[in-house]
Amino acid sequence: MILTRRQVFVLPLILLLAACASTTQEGATGVKRKQLLLLPSAQVDAMSLESYRGELSKASGAGKLNTDKANLERIRVIADRLIPYVATFRQDALAWQWEVNLETRDELNAYCAPGGKIMFFTGIIKQLNLSDDEIAAIMGHEIAHALREHGRERMSQAYAQQTGMSLLAVLGNVKPESMALLETAAQLGLTLPHSRGQEAEADIVGLELMARAGYNPAAAVSLWEKMGQANGPGGPAFMSTHPSGAQRIDGIGALLPKVNPLYQSAKGTRSKTAPRVVPRG
């Protein structure tokens, strides 16, 4: 069957709509946006795991993996308290093979790769002099990225964008200089705002996770105040993939009335000894 030009354009749109879903339940904070998920989860997880294992191997070879035993134990205890509550958003995440590791590195960074592979850098803990509540705010945020499969979504988005641009070039007789403008417009109008939306979602879900685990959600405010002081004034939020510090703090402040009851309830029922769900190396 030979497709008409219109059919060639419409077919990808139908496929995109069919690939829209939400990876998580809403929880108390209500993240329910549909996501574009074109790529198989297993494929993205395998790629991410390979990258994560490479990071571990490199850090271990340099003698920088899990050498700060005190802070390693701190982040693993915090993970033990947070992870049981991932079931609020997706039950299958309880069966992920969770890991928590600490690399001696000056960067102010941490991440959670798909499938529950958490990595913290010592720089963010030491340079910001983080409390346990502030570490929980970071970890909850990074876990939220994994629960929402934001990496898979970004890869799917890039794939769809590339496919769309190729169709325009082939069928639309678009000049090279116009293609460059279209790509810039796509980045500013689609990629960057969407990434800011992902960051906001991770703040929302992460805040609920830490509150349910008995960590004070107000610590997310002090965390981002510290981050702002460490990073200094950044560029305009419009050109960034992250919300500005002020926007982030305002958003968190607006959510505190929703999550504070969860925190107060958790404080009254949480046992002093958390179950160990993270393997100890």
Name the residues annotated as catalytic.
142
Residue 279: which of 90, 79, 82 has the closest Cα?
79
Using an 8 Å Cβ cutoff, are 91 and 121 in contact? no
Question: Counting beta carbons within 10 angstroms of the beta carbon of residue 175, is it exposed (0 to 12), middle (13 to 18) or buried (19 or more)?
Answer: exposed
Query: Rounded CA gap, 159 and 164, in Å?
Result: 9
CB 225 within 8 A of CB 249: yes
In one-letter notation, the amino acid at residue 63 is G
Q: How far apart are the first and last CA of the chain?
A: 58
**If DSSP states are collapsed to H, E and C, what string results for 79-98?**
HHHHHHHHHHCCHHHHHCCC
Question: Of 144, 142, 96, nearest to 119 (Cα)?
Answer: 142
